[in-house]
Structure formats: structure tokens, C-alpha cells
Amino acid sequence: MSRSLNFELVLLERMFRDYKLSVLHDIGITEAEAAGLQKESTLKYPALASSDLASYRKLLGPEVTRESLTGSSAHYFTLMLWPHLFWVLEESGESGPCAIGFENQVVPVFQAFDPRTIRAGLWTRRALEQIADRHQLHDGWDEEVVVRFTFGEILFEGTFVFGLLQEWRPVSGST
């Protein structure tokens, strides 16, 4: 197995159990096998949040050239388990990493969009913030956050791990 996959399994371990199990099933790896591969990763949780760019380059290979939307220095990497997403390391000046997480490679533009069709594992916090009418951090710590999104008159709540959607639901009384 590759060093990149070992690291990606470290990320997957932090995800919600149902999502994690579905990904492991899709790639044909048991939880026990995944745990063994995670141990071989050179970047582990929680140190991965403070790891430098050189460590990520050594592990994930060359970056994808892309203009940063945040104003910070952002470094984009592709992953095997999430080919539709980037793993992003943002740096702010000399202080090193200031944020890590997933970002959609493309934010689709819809003529008619129904937020009830949003699915875990496909969307990131940043993409949903771009298409929602409004959004507000509801709760969160470290790599897991809950954000509320308004689309028209409907309020939804999304739970994210490293910026990747894990759970999506309408907030009661919002229909």
C-alpha cells in the first residue's frame, strides 16, 4: 500500500463511523487492516495539523497548482480516497500551517438546486458556504464543526470533519 493511502486512512479514522465503514467497504479493507495501515503513516493525528509543507509533499507528492481563494498561501494535494476533493494545507506567513482540510475541486453551478439532495462525503464546508444564502457556525472544536446553512426559507445543519460533510439534515420546523 502507498504512504498516501496510509495517511488517508488516518483521516478516515476521524470520520463518522457509518461513513468510514462505507468507504472501507468500497475499497475492500477491513477496520483491522485499516488500523494496521494507519500505524505506518508518517503523519498521524493530531500532529498532522501542525506538520509542515515539506512533510505533506514527501507523503502526498507534488501539489496541484491552484489560486488560493482565502488570501493565505494554500497548497493543494490530490488523494486516492477522495479524487473529487483536494486536501489543503493553508499557511499564514512565517507561522506555518494555519488550517488543513478538504475542499471541493469544483463548486458546481446549478440552475435549480435542491439542498435536500446534498450527500455526505461529496461536499465540503467551503463549497456549501459558497452556494448557501447564509451560513453560521453552530458548534465546533478542532477538526469537527457543525454549521447551519440557509437555502431560501429552509435551514439545514451540516456536520463536518476536516471540512468534509459527514451528516446533513434539515433543522426541525424549517420546512
Q: How far apart are CA 28 and CA 43, in angstroms?
A: 23
Q: How far apart are CA 13 and CA 19, in angstroms?
A: 10
Q: How many domains does the chain have?
A: 2
| pLDDT confidence tier of residue 94, bands split at 50, 70 and 90 | low
pLDDT score recorded for residue 47: 87
Residue 71 has pLDDT above 70, yes or no: no
pLDDT score recorded for residue 173: 47
pTM of the shown model? 0.88
Q: What residue numbers bound the domain in which 18 lies?
A: 3-104
In a domain? residue 78: yes
Residue 68 has pLDDT above 60, yes or no: no
Q: Do 14 and 96 fall within a single domain? A: yes
Provide the mean pLDDT of the chain: 89
Q: Do 99 and 121 fall within a single domain? A: no
Q: Do 88 and 121 fall within a single domain? A: no
DSSP codes of every residue in 78-112:
E-SS-TTEEEEEEE-GGG-EEEEEEEES-----SS
In a domain? residue 175: no
Provide mean pLDDT across the span 11-35. Answer: 97
Q: Do 75 and 135 fall within a single domain? A: no
